[in-house]
Every structure is written in structure tokens, then in C-alpha cells.
Amino acid sequence: MPAETNVAPTIEPDRRGRIRPQDLALALGYAGITWLLHALAMNNDALWGFQRFAAWWPLLLAVGCAAVALRGPRILTSSVVMALAGMALLLIGSTGGFFLIFECIFTLVLFGGARVSKLTEHGTLVLTALLTIGMYFVTGSAAITVTLAIVSAMVLLMPAQWAGNVRHARELASSEARTAAAVAEAAAARAEAQSAEYERLLVAERTTLAREVHDVLSARLSAIALQSGASLNVPENSALASRAMQEIRTQSVNGIEELNSMIRMLHRGDPLEPAGSLRDIPALIQLFSNSGLHVSYANALPASGAALDALTQATIYRSINETLINFSKHAPEGELSISLALHQGSVQFSASNPTVPRTSTQETAAAAGGTGTGLLSMRARTKEMGGSFRVSTELDTFAVCMLLPLHTSFPNAASPGEASIPGPQKSPERVNKGKN
């Protein structure tokens, strides 16, 4: 009978081309049982004309058992040899033929390809039916026919069904293993995607936080630096020093309050609210102008842009804030021109100032005074709102141009793609300040 180790659905690739221990043990088992049956004279009578070959049973048995031991490398060839040796043993009356035919069917169904396995299963059913029907027509004996049917079922049908069940179980286990591997791979992919998304959100949150801290504190600290510098440059002007100290205190208190407000919102997990509006811009420019900077500001928006949404106003406010800081660091001797207007259905913010040649010492000091995130923050804010941002340094002029799409309808605003035609309205708001 087949050994327990013969129930694998396939022959392992690394064991092809050599004898497997379980196959060798099975072959020796078949040889020993057959030898014992012959020693006990438990044999059948040879068919007519084959009695003279009865003594050849050891040779035929050896060939059949060798095919069982060597079936690993070549399944079909070994199965054919087992079948031929088994039929030859049955013809000369040796019961060992039943074992070889049993093992031949078992091998084809379990180890053969899918098509061979299915054909063998169907073939055993057809062969059993034909043998049973043929025996009845030949002998006319129901007892002999039933006996042959039982023997055929045990030798042909039993190994086919047994091997088929084992094969299906192994295939199901293999399918479940592949499914489990696919599920594990999908879970790993999801975990990796979630980790990547978490990292992306973390980077985005860090970037937003850095930008918010920069925008909130840079203006205050820059104003403090400018006011203190102006006071130190004219130590004999007590009025200027007093005004500067008052402004420094105001900016320090406001900066601390804004920082505390931001920290409270971060602790609560609330989103940061847009800070700054267009009505705060004149005071912001006045703050920098008081330190001696030349700044001109023109607001040509309808109603000075009061109808703009809070996010757009905050973006413009912080962009002007950053522009003023950069101007105070890099070109304080020149004049900064800032303007707001409608342009083809968008709010246009423009700022320009002449570039000033610097010595290497001044360039090093200016570079050390900033973080390099100001223009990047302006570009990022513009991109988030679906606008465009451009910086140019042509004709000895540093210029910044920002276009933000309108989210609010203005009575005199042109639709996107058309030039705006201002209607009757009050004069643009202007702030012009020079050095004290």
C-alpha cells in the first residue's frame, strides 16, 4: 500500500533526478510482501500460454519496484513501466501485479499533471465498468462478476479516489497559503503606504508649523531690530529713543501673545486660523517706515479688498510682511513699491525695489540674517490657493508678482481670462513714508 510520505501533490524540484528515501522504502516493501506471498503459495493460476514464464516473476517484480523507486525524476515513464510489469505479473499468476497497478494509478493521479490526473481518474471509472460488464458477458456468473467488480474497485478506483482527495487537499492548502501570502503582502503594502502617508503628513505639518512660526514672529522681531537700530544710531535724540522703546515693548508683547495663541491652538489640535487682513497692512507698513525705510503702498482693489475672503487677505498680508522684512535686510537704502490690483480675474500683488550692489561682508551678513524660507513660504501659499508666483531680478530691480484667484465676486471685476475694467470708485488707498 502507498506509504504516508507519498501524499505530496508534487515532487520537490530540488529532489528531482535522484531516488527519494520514501520511494525506495515503498519499493522494498512491495518486493518483500510479494516474496512472502510466493513463499506461502498465495498466488493465482497463470493464464493459458503464460505458465512457462511463471519463474520470471522475480525479474518482473524487480523491474516494477525499480520503477516505483525511480518515479521521482520521470513520473509518466515510471508509471508505464509499473503498469506493464504489473500486468505481466498478473498474467503469470503473481499477486504482486496488483500492488504495481495500484501504485501506477496512485502515482499518475497524485503526481501527474492536472490533465493526466483527471484523465486517469476518469479512465479508472471507465475501465472498471468495462471489466465488470465484459466479465458478466463472458462468464454469465453474477458471483464472478461481483468479485471482479470488487477487486477492480480496490485496485483501480480506490487509489484514484485516494490520490485525488489527497491532491485536492494539497492544492487547497497551497491555494490557502498563496492567499495568506497575498493577504500578508497586501497588509504590508497598506502598512507601507500608511507609513509613507504619515511621513508625508508629518513633513507637511512640520513645514506648515515652521511657516506659521516664521510669519508670526519674523515681522515682530524685524520691527524690534529696526527700531532698536534707529535708536542706537541717534543716541542724542531722546524722543526717538523713547518712541523706539515703546514700539519695541508693543511688538514684544504682541509677539508673545501671538506665540501663546499658536501654542494653545496646537495643544488643542485646532487648525491655525488665518492671521492678518488688508486693513492691517497700513499699520504694518507704518511700523517699518518709522524705522526710516522708504515704502510706497497702493491698494486699487474695489473697497480696498474688504470683500475678499479671510484666507486671501491673510496670504496677501503675510506676503507683504515677508516683502518688508526682505527689503529691510537686503535693500534698506532703496525704495520699496507695493501695489494691489485686479488683473484678469485675479488679485495681483506686486512689489519691487532697486537692487543695491553689496560688498562681500554685507552679503555674508545679509545671508546670515535670514532663514531662506520667506520666498519659499510665499510660493507655497500661492500654490496652495491655486495661484502663480514669480520673482525676477531684471534691470537692476528685484520684483515679486503674485496672482491669487478670486473667490469673491467684485462688482467691477472681470471674469477670468478677461482684462479688468475698473468702474467709478474711490481713489486707491496709498501710504507713502520716507526716512525720519
**Sheet arrangement for strand 397-405:** 388-392, 397-405, 346-354, 335-343, 294-299, 429-433
* Model pLDDT, residue 271: 58
Greatest distance between any 2 Cα atoms in the chain = 141
Long-range CB pairs of 381-389 (<8 Å, 24+ gap) are 381/211, 381/315, 381/318, 381/319, 382/315, 385/311, 385/312, 385/315, 387/346
Q: For the segment 249-293, what is each residue's pLDDT rounded down to a tens digit?
A: 776 777 777 777 767 766 666 655 656 788 888 988 887 887 778
* Model pLDDT, residue 373: 66
Q: Which residue has the cell 522703546?
A: 245
Average confidence (pLDDT) over 369-376: 63
Question: Is the overall model pTM greater than 0.85, yes or no?
Answer: no
- Would you tell me how many other CB atoms lie within 10 Å of the CB of residue 431? 17
For residue 231, give Cα distances in angstroms to 238, 244, 246, 436: 9, 6, 11, 12
- Give the residue, 419 or 221, on which the prediction is more confident: 221
* Model pLDDT, residue 326: 83
Q: For the segment 406-432, what is each residue's pLDDT rounded down to a tens digit?
A: 866 655 554 444 333 333 334 344 455
Instruction: Return the C-alpha cell found at 204.
Output: 507637511
- Give the residue, 138 or 260, on which the prediction is more confident: 138
* Model pLDDT, residue 180: 93
By CB neighbour count within 10 A (0-12 exposed, 13-18 middle, 19+ buried), where does 320 fall? buried
By CB neighbour count within 10 A (0-12 exposed, 13-18 middle, 19+ buried), where does 97 fall? buried
For residue 155, give Cα distances in angstroms to 106, 150, 395: 10, 9, 101
β-pair type (429-433, 294-299): antiparallel
* Model pLDDT, residue 417: 41
Cα separation of 373 and 72, whole Å? Answer: 71
- Cβ atoms of 414 and 420 within 8 Å: the answer is yes
Q: At what angle do helices 374-384 and 158-233 cross, to 10 degrees?
A: 130
Q: How many residues in total does the chain contain?
A: 436
- Cβ atoms of 86 and 97 within 8 Å: the answer is yes
* Model pLDDT, residue 349: 93
- Give the residue, 202 or 402, on which the prediction is more confident: 402
Q: Which of 172-181, 225-234, 290-299, 356-365 has the lowest mean pLDDT?
A: 356-365
Would you say residue 356 has pLDDT above 80? no
Share of the chain above pLDDT 70, in %: 75
* Model pLDDT, residue 198: 84
Torsion over CA: 326, 331, 332, 334 (sign): negative
* Model pLDDT, residue 419: 37
Average confidence (pLDDT) over 51-74: 87
Amino acid at 202: L
